[in-house]
Amino acid sequence: MSIFIVTILFSTYKVYANEEIEVNAKAALMIEKNTGKIIYEKNINEQNYPASVTKILTAILTIEKCDLEEIATVSQSAISNIPSGYVIAPLYEGEQIKIKDLLYALMLKSANDAAYVLAEHVGGSVNGFSEMMNNKAKEIGCKNTHFVNPNGIHNLEHYTTAYDLYLITNYAMKNETFSKIVSTYQYTLPATNKYSYSNRIMENTNNFINPNSAYYNQNVKGVKTGTTDQAGNCLITDSADSGLEFITVVLGAETSNSKFSETRKMINYAFDNYTLTKVYGKGDIVTNIEVEKATKETKNLNLVTSEDFLVVNNINTNVADMTPEIILNENIVAPIDKGQEIGTVKYNVEGKEYTSKLFAENDVELKTYYVEISIGVGIFSVIIIILVIKKKRRG
């Protein structure tokens, strides 16, 4: 017999995304990364040129493929194919430099020559590395991304979306090395075989990381800026406080300042208006059911969560007043083992569904009556089989 406990959900709660803030960039997105809750969205699946935020994928792909102490050699092609006006470290032909140093040049100063050196070192060529980038983007879940270079130098075939960039950034920020690099304000490249001075200072172009900037924000952990005439001004940030962590994407802002001011607007709005609510803690009882064919002592079974159940909600929404939907598996009968998955609990908060699996808090034993019947049926079946066999032998 199937047991279902289903309650009616009332979805009268206001959806706040897009209603109380306005961003003038071509595309923008803000997501709470631990829950996937969208706080703001604008043209998030529209293809745009990404400029240097491309380098997020270049960096994480390099980190996954290389040892940071590996040495790469700067080729002539890596430094000669950069159009005038694009940022360089600079690096020098024949220079031998560690992958770690190239990554800091790539992500802080946004050095395009460092991107080409890494691409040739990891992928054998820019084309080879670009293919690796596109494969990695698909693996991460991107559906509207196509890259033809590792740095975002403008190309009509080099494009992505705000949502795909969120996916890439969310993936990259889970890597400790990557998150350490992009949260660094300043890094000095060491002297090398081709450059004997230690005066190549890589300063982070992200003003949220710069303690001397009016945009400095101690809650921002990175990630990357980008600018070309065709892409406009782009910025991706990761900001965290009080258990909340937001990834913000701005593409095609009108000015360099506006990419920071519009991002700051979203960050301030999110932290001022949203909170992280623990609906259930690990091991909390969500509901209780009566299990068929169970002993009297164990038939009342508590269903519990195996981890904290967290939701992101507007401060004006009282999650405690909301009624969950509980869906149980079919054919829940004894015996049941402690920790066995029994069903799911769901909450719909401001248009987003949150789910958590439910598990048995303790063992549920099979009632002796059913055990005796099962044994009796088994013995009877064996006797019948023996009698049939004997009858056949006599015949």
Nearest 5°: CA angle at 56, between 77 and 86? 45
Do 361 and 342 meet the contact criterion of CB atoms below 8 Å apart? no
| Sequence-separated (6 or more) residues with CB below 8 Å from residue 231 | 48, 49, 50, 51, 152, 154, 251, 252
For the question of residue 52 being annotated catalytic, the response is yes
Q: What are the helix (H) ranges across the chain?
A: 55-65, 76-80, 99-104, 112-123, 126-140, 162-172, 176-182, 256-273, 368-394
For the question of residue 75 being annotated catalytic, the response is no
| Sequence-separated (6 or more) residues with CB below 8 Å from residue 369 | none
The tokens describing 312, both together, are 């992101």
Question: Kind and range of the H or E element at 290?
Answer: strand 285-290
**Active-site hit among 55, 136, 221, 265:** 55
**Active-site hit among 33, 37, 52, 183:** 52
For residue 58, which of 172, 195, 155 has the smallest C-alpha distance? 172
Compute the CA torsion angle 156, 157, 162, 163 (nearest 10 deg): 160
SS3 303: strand
Name the residue type at position 71.
I
For the question of residue 110 being annotated catalytic, the response is yes
Count of positions (residues) in the chain: 395
Distance in angstroms (rounded) separating the CA atoms of residues 137 and 185: 27
- Active-site residue list: 52, 55, 110
